[in-house]
Structure 1
């Protein structure tokens, strides 16, 4: 008896006439949605995915039956079941559970944005974020991404990433957001060395002129860097005063993660 989940029976994994699996097309449909684009029509999904409207209409109907997508008239959005399945299986669940108490304490002290990022491909993916009314501008959001060279979290993760990934990022291209964004391979290489030596990344105005990003590494029980903890604060003379609190919080999160690993073992 076929043991595949019912959703895969319906969606199928057979290859299409063009040589692309139906599952690949499902992924293309899902990837049309983003943190800033949460609702689309079938025609918009077709245009963004490069698929035929009839193909998208058929896939959307099948995915909606399994609650992977949700339809409201002509509007289509990611279904709640996608969040449920992702949350159930995500390797960041333990990380978020260990980090959240320390993030909340840090948030109370700093009074601005606190966020948790992990390495995903050549970008930093933000898996948790705490904000406050009236806090400094911040372009990141949960499930949002930024280039490694431009953000404090990205620099921490890149500085401790495998050498081949570092060299690929250094080779560019390096997207420029402001006049302070790292834009040359030489400067990026030097900044990564500084991050490893100093134990934190300090980015004044790299993403927005009014904001400073400060990030520190989070390590597992073996000392490997698995995430970055960051604060986004106003770009003023008081920004550096937040570094000790971030370093203390990082030590607490790392100890909590080690405790979680020991209990699982």
Structure 2
């Protein structure tokens, strides 16, 4: 949590942490400023993997069968505005893997942009961290490096800690 708090104090925007659970993104933590833009995300809430920055990161690093299921059933109703077809989703997932982060924006139900990065435990992606901010274009260019650095710091702590005080589990049969 201290790492997320630091990111929140730097950005003053929504900071989200999610894990993959039963084929969805499960929001496990959210920090928000009182004057931050409205979002539909609540701690304990579930979202399709292909519809948010954290979901795209979790999906991009999920087992191939999980990815193929999401691609086969993709519906663009609430997804990133640049992902309109299953082929678009496949392309974006490859970009996320290559760049080790996701950048996206949505115009419905609110105009928001996001940057998300993977949190790893021993190399395996176990969670995704993001900043969600108001806007229709690319997020503030400073958010990307801040989100990636924070995700790496959490990842290092997970490895150093060895599960003694900090552990993130993915509950759908894969850690």
Shorter-normalised TM range? 0.7 to 0.9
Distance 1:196 1:206 in 2: 24
Q: Which residue number corresponds to residue 211 of structure 1?
A: 112
* Structure 2 residues without counterparts, runs of 5 or longer: 166-175
Query: What is the match of residue 130 of structure 2?
Result: 230
Instruction: Give TM-score scaled by structure 1 length.
Output: 0.58
1:124-160 per-residue CA deviation (whole Å, 9 max, x = no partner) reads 0001110111102211110001111111000000000
Question: Which gives a bigger RCO, structure 1 or 2 (Cα 8 Å, sep 6+)?
Answer: 2
**Alignment partners' CA distance in 2, 1:179 and 1:193:** 15
RMSD over aligned CA atoms reads 1.9
Q: Structure 2 vs 1, CA of residues 231 and 207 (structure 1 numbering), >3 Å: closer, same or farther?
A: farther
Higher strand share: 2
Unaligned runs of 5+ residues in structure 1 are 1-99
Could you say which structure has the higher helix fraction? 1
Q: Which residue of the partner structure matches residue 162 of structure 1?
A: 63
Aligned length: 164
Q: Is 1:254 matched up with 2:158?
A: no
TM-superposed deviation, 1:161: 0.4
Kindly state the Cα deviation for residue 122 of structure 1 after the two structures are TM-superposed: 1.4
Whether the 8 Å contact between 1:178 and 1:209 is mirrored in structure 2 is no
Q: Does 1:242 align with 2:140?
A: no
Match of 1:107 in 2: 8
1:241 positional shift:
2.4
Q: Indicate which of 28, 51, 54 corresponds to 1:153.
A: 54
Deviating beyond 3 angstroms after TM superposition, the runs of 4 or more aligned structure 1 residues are: 206-209
- Name the counterpart of 2:169: none
Structure showing greater Rg: 1
Q: Could you tell me how far apart the structure 1 residues matched to 2:76 and 2:22 are?
A: 16
- 1:83 match: none
Once the two structures are superposed, the pairs formed by residues 1-265 of structure 1 within 5 Å of their partners are: 100-177=1-78, 180=81, 182-205=83-106, 208-220=109-121, 222-235=122-135, 236=137, 239-261=140-162, 263=164
